Structure 1
Amino acid sequence: MKYIVFAGTLINLFFTFSYIKAVYKGHIQPNKITWLMWSIAPLIATTAAISNGVGLSVLPVFMSGFTPLLVFMISFANKNAYWKLHTGDYVCGLMSIFALAVWYISKNPNYAILFAIISDGFAAFPTIVKAWKYPATEESKAFIGGLILATSSFFAIETWNFSALAFPIYLVGLNILMIYAIEHKIKRV
């Protein structure tokens, strides 16, 4: 059962590449601060979880940092993929960085995971607001893939503790919230 994370990873990559293609073509406009911080926080949480003995179940957390890094990088390839940043975006970005600094000072792997979640949440806020107000600027496919990926981690958890559970639980909730924010106003024909 623990190898389900590999299937979740492949599904996530499929959906993420669809999102990346839409970004490249300028069909959607990702918030660059969100996507950069979405790459940093999970990669830090991955490192902290590994240092605390978490095994294969950390792969979805790693991928939830790696794929946003790809989106962030591709967002520079097409000027139509630009989303104008506002003061609130920068404040959330700074709060996200602050949360990572607090973790760095503590040196505790569980604090690293907690503050990576807080950091990621601050980073997510501008995109949640953007998706809610302007759902056409986002696409739910990447978040559906993220939900599948995050859910797959529960099949690989060997020790049910904070280090193994916290970030995947957060990711499930975040992806559900993003999907709802994007899809709540869209009427499908």
Structure 2
Amino acid sequence: MPSLLLLLGVLVASVGIFSYIRDTVRGKVKPNKVTWLLWAIAPLIATAAAISDGVGWAVLPVFLSGFGPLLVFLFSFVNKESYWKLGRLDYICGLFSVLALILWAVTNQPAVAILFAILSDGIAAVPTVIKAWKHPETENAGPFLSGLFTASTAFTAISALRFTEIAFPIYLIGINCILVFSILRRRFRRA
């Protein structure tokens, strides 16, 4: 049975991602479509791998870290003002991210699948981290702040300290910290 904190994490993640979707539809943020699509794929693969390895409710935050980006990707087509011009780096990162997913498919081992899903997700994050660093006004820290909290709640449902249970939540905490800092750093400097 999921813990109350884990369910609270689901609620917080939903608020964060829906704030980003709202800002996407309004044209206030400009999601990088390559990043958000791959951010959907890798965690959903990690979710399937974790479930196949017997992970229970602890996988819920990882699932949400894939389902939310899938929604952002889909809603990014609603408003043409939400468009971020993709460049060479975006496509290169996308290619390497997809290659990492293919390598997972070849191995068919849950732990290796999660490792490659993390690698894929991390490479997919590079264009958005760079964009957030250079143009923080094109981003909304909401989903990354909520993602930080939600990933942390996974530890309340972990039954054993196995790689398949802790690796993706640890990665999510790290990447969310990097993104929040990239988006909000200028605000901290002004304060």
- Place the TM-score, normalised by the shorter chain, in its bin: over 0.9
Instruction: Deviation per CA, 1:56-105: give whole Å up to 9, x if none.
Output: 00000000000000000000000000000000000000000000000100
1:49 maps to a residue whose letter is: A
Corresponding residue for residue 122 of structure 1: 123
Q: Would you say how many aligned residue pairs link Structure 1 and Structure 2?
A: 189
Root mean square deviation, CA, Å: 1.1
CA distance in 2, matches of 1:186, 1:28: 17
Residue aligned with 2:94, SS: helix
Matches within 5 A, 1:106-145: 106-145=107-146
Residue aligned with 2:186, SS: coil
- Greater than 4 Å deviation, 4+ residue runs: none
Contact in 2 for aligned 1:2/1:157 (Cα 8 Å): no
Corresponding residue for residue 48 of structure 2: 47
Corresponding residue for residue 86 of structure 1: 87
1:15 to partner: Cα distance: 1.4
Does structure 1 residue 180 correspond to structure 2 residue 181?
A: yes
Corresponding residue for residue 37 of structure 1: 38
CA distance in 2, matches of 1:3, 1:98: 38
Contact in 2 for aligned 1:99/1:119 (Cα 8 Å): yes
Percent of aligned positions that are identical: 51
Residue aligned with 2:27, SS: coil
Residue aligned with 1:59, SS: helix
Contact in 2 for aligned 1:46/1:58 (Cα 8 Å): yes
Corresponding residue for residue 74 of structure 1: 75
1:171 to partner: Cα distance: 0.1
CA distance in 2, matches of 1:159, 1:53: 11
1:186 to partner: Cα distance: 2.7
Matches within 5 A, 1:19-38: 19-38=20-39
2:24 maps to a residue whose letter is: V
1:10 maps to a residue whose letter is: L
Unaligned runs of 5+ in 1: none
Contact in 2 for aligned 1:135/1:186 (Cα 8 Å): no
Contact in 2 for aligned 1:3/1:156 (Cα 8 Å): no
1:96 maps to a residue whose letter is: S
2:84 maps to a residue whose letter is: W
Corresponding residue for residue 10 of structure 2: 9
1:3 to partner: Cα distance: 3.4
Unaligned runs of 5+ in 2: none
1:18 to partner: Cα distance: 0.9
CA distance in 2, matches of 1:186, 1:25: 22
Corresponding residue for residue 161 of structure 1: 162
